Structure 1
Amino acid sequence: MALSQRNQFRVAASSAELMNFRQQAWRLYEPVAPVLMPAFGQEWWLRPGLTFTPFANAVRCTAHCAFCSEELQRYDGHQLTARRLIDDYPAYFDRLRTVLHPFQGWPLGLSLSGLEATAEPQWLRELLACLTQVEHEGGIFDEKVLYTNGSGFVNSPDLGLGLQDFGLDRLELSRCHDDEAVNQQIMRFNRNQPMRHNAVYASTVRWLHQHLPVKNSCILTQLGIATLPDVERYLTWAAGLGVRQVVFRELSRLEGSYLPNVFTEWIEAQRVPIEPLLAAVVPTLETPRSGWQYAGSTFGYYYYNEHYRWQDTEVIFETSSYPALQAANASGVLQKLILHSDGTLSGDWDPDSRVLSRVAAPVPARL
């Protein structure tokens, strides 16, 4: 078993072992011993390899994906950080430097996600400048990933160059179907967003691919990509744009842990379970589907991936469990750090849960 800071990679030696991987999935993840670290007047148990997310929320998102996790609220949840925009950039970036200071010298993965980071180009430019300064002062980002629908690159291509200069390791670009009409039914871009059109998407991807490693991210849905022929058609289309890495993700398993709403209903109605696809790709190691080659499996604390080669493309199938994520968060070990738009640093997507530090309330002026 090979260990990395963030996950564990294994190659099944037999078909029986591969079947066990699929049945147990993230349950086979072996937690790495946590490390006790002082910060903000307390000591915290940290998972080696934890990631940091400065929640992207300067403006409303440029799309309204039917599966958006920011529209889900747990039964034990308090508020959604997506509801509060970042309205004071200087204060926000001062706060960003402050919350990262205790972690100087501690390797963090940088996960640029939340809503849409490219939707407000000035915010993203200032964010990259601030994070670069943090690195110069001793901060360590050993992996840097941007999760995006790509909309901001259309009118601000300099963002791609800025991310290249910043040393971004990977840009994960969401696209849920190779037909723009079907994709629009799932991702629901705003009407004024050119990225909804395939021609614009294609030209943007080809340009980005010259400067950054681009990984396509496709959510599996009954409406969109649901079968192995669908997957292979999508891969042929993506390869034509120069993309050589694609991940197909099952909608995260909620298992009744979120309040019912139109988003949870859509997710459950549209879910495409990953297991039948995996069984179709490699029923056994001795009898893979023509053109497919198994490369290994990744185990995370709440997700499981299988890696393949298909022609010249690396293909990943992923499944994940939100209850497993919540159980890990409730263990007392911080799994990730999130700077919310109100300045709260927490170990949870809920800004009122597992709080490390808040912005001090202003002291009332004396009369």
Structure 2
Amino acid sequence: MAPTLRNQYQTATSSAELAQFRAAAWQFYQPVAPVAVAAFGRTHQLRPGLTFTPFANAVRCNAHCAFCSEELLRHEGHQLTAKRLINDYPAYFQRLRQVLLPFRGFPLGLSLSGLEATAEPVWLRELLACLTGLEGEGVVFNEKVLYTNGSGLATQPDLGLALEDFGLSRLELSRCHDDEAVNQQIMRFNRNQPIRHNAVYAATVGWLHRHLSVKNSCILTRLGIATLPDVERYLRWAAGLGVRQVVFRELSRLEGSYLPNVFTEWIEQNRVPIEPLLTAVAPTLEATRPGWEYAGSTFGYYYYNEHYRWQELEVIFETSSYPALQAANATGVLQKLILHSDGTLSGDWDPDSRVLSRVPKPSLDYYYPSA
């Protein structure tokens, strides 16, 4: 696996080194030298490899995942951008051009996430067209990833063709359990969403594989996938759908960084720590579980991954820390760029934090319906 600007990849050569990787996790990441970029009347320090996210919330999300990060509130009390919908598409895309053109020539990763980008196909198609035009003007996306629950791809397959034409690098498709009833308890799709049914999900995945690189993403929870036998059963199911890459993610470690609410309580009650799973798969490099082969480890600025081969699949276990993410942000080096739905460009999921540029006050009217 080739290293990228976004993380650092190493292969442990001894059990002692692997133990060191696990103990240090994201702390093993060595920040690269930032790059100074002039934009919006100031010089900003950017981490090479940082990603840009046009926060997807043209409509309310069509699932209500019990672990949704957009329902978490920081102690500072700032509201996250998910509560504000994009109501005027032409004005939004004009703003998108304004915030990206200053970064022409600086390679960015494109991370299509937020709420559910495929829930509003018109917005997504216009977004892809706008971003394609910006690439023609010198904006560089050296990786393009869509994080999705797949709902819009199930009802409008031509969205997959549009993503293929756009040159999407990878589609990360969320599914938290191989049993549709258990998955529904965790992801809580609106009842009118066909993707909640396994038969629809399987057909959607099968079609997508003919056009895009698809990675399954499974959040580990006590309610869902929690043990290594659970993991292996999920992998057999995913392999039967043609999936060749699966990531199992521990719920992000909050460590008191957010105000208590029903979502933080659910997260902490249902957290499945990654360490026992890693120990079960590979207590040492010399004694991995039969059928499993260690391939390497990835260190990011707030996450740690271990990569394995299981049968014909690449399997990744991931753990991450919100306090580590916030600590990296606090250094003054921009770790990512997010265009919020009120037109604010910031370096944080909070639109009031690490602001680079805001829309002049009178122009905000187009984001809200008339009273």
Is contact 1:2–1:8 with CA below 8 Å preserved after alignment? no
2:334 aligns with: 334
Q: Name the aligned partner's letter for residue 138 of structure 1.
A: G
SS at match of 2:295: strand
Shift of 1:15: 0.1
Any gaps of 5 or more consecutive residues in structure 1? none
2:24 partner letter: Q
Tell me the CA shift for residue 76 of structure 1.
2.1
TM-score for both structures, normalised by structure 2: 0.97
1:153, 1:326 → 2: CA distance? 33
| 1:74, distance to aligned residue in structure 2 (A) | 1.0
| Counterpart for residue 41 of structure 2 | 41
What stretches of structure 2 of length at least 5 have no aligned partner?
364-371
Give the match's secondary structure for 2:168. coil
Q: Is residue 179 of structure 1 aligned with residue 183 of structure 2?
A: no
Q: Distance in 2 between matches of 1:362 and 1:231?
A: 52
Deviations 1:250-306 (A, max 9, x none): 000000000000000000000000000000001100011000000000000000000
Query: Structure 1 residue 2: deviation in Å?
Result: 7.5
Tell me the residue number matched to 2:280: 280
Match of 2:68 in 1: 68
Matched, 1:289 2:289: yes
**1:354 is aligned with what amino acid?**
R
1:239-250 matches, cutoff 5 A:
239-250=239-250
Q: Provide the residue aligned with 2:320 in structure 1.
A: 320
TM-score by length of 1: 0.98
How big is the shift at 1:112?
0.1
What is the aligned partner in structure 2 of residue 106 from structure 1? Answer: 106
- Which residue of structure 2 aligns with residue 345 of structure 1? 345
**What percent of counterpart residues are identical?**
82
Cα distance per residue 1:101-121 (max 9 Å; x no partner)? 010000000000000000000
- Mapped to 1, the partners of 2:65 and 2:102 lie a distance apart of 36
Aligned mates of 1:4, 1:90 — CA distance in 2: 35
Shift of residue 4, structure 1, vs aligned partner? 2.2
Residue pair 1:254, 1:323 contacting (<8 A) in 2 also: yes
Aligned length: 363
Cα deviation per residue 1:169-195 (whole Å; 9 max; x = unaligned)? 000000000000000000000011111
The residue number in structure 1 matching 2:219 is: 219
* Contact 1:77/1:350 (8 A) holds in 2: no
SS in 2 for 1:94: helix
Counterpart for residue 207 of structure 1: 207
Letter in 1 for 2:232: E
- Identify the residue that residue 305 of structure 1 maps to in structure 2: 305
Alignment deviations for residues 68-108 of structure 1 (CA, whole Å, 9 cap, x no partner): 00000111241110000000000000000110001000000
**1:166-222 alpha-carbon deviations (Å, 9 max, x no partner):** 000000000000000000000000011111100000000000111000100000000
Conserved 8 A contact 1:104-1:140:
yes
Match of 1:253 in 2: 253
Question: Which amino acid is the alignment partner of residue 357 of structure 1?
Answer: S
CA distance in structure 1 between the partners assigned to 2:3 and 2:185 by the alignment: 39
Q: How many angstroms apart in 2 are the aligned matches of 1:231 and 1:315?
A: 10
Structure 1 consecutive aligned stretches of length 4 or more whose deviation exceeds 4 Å: none
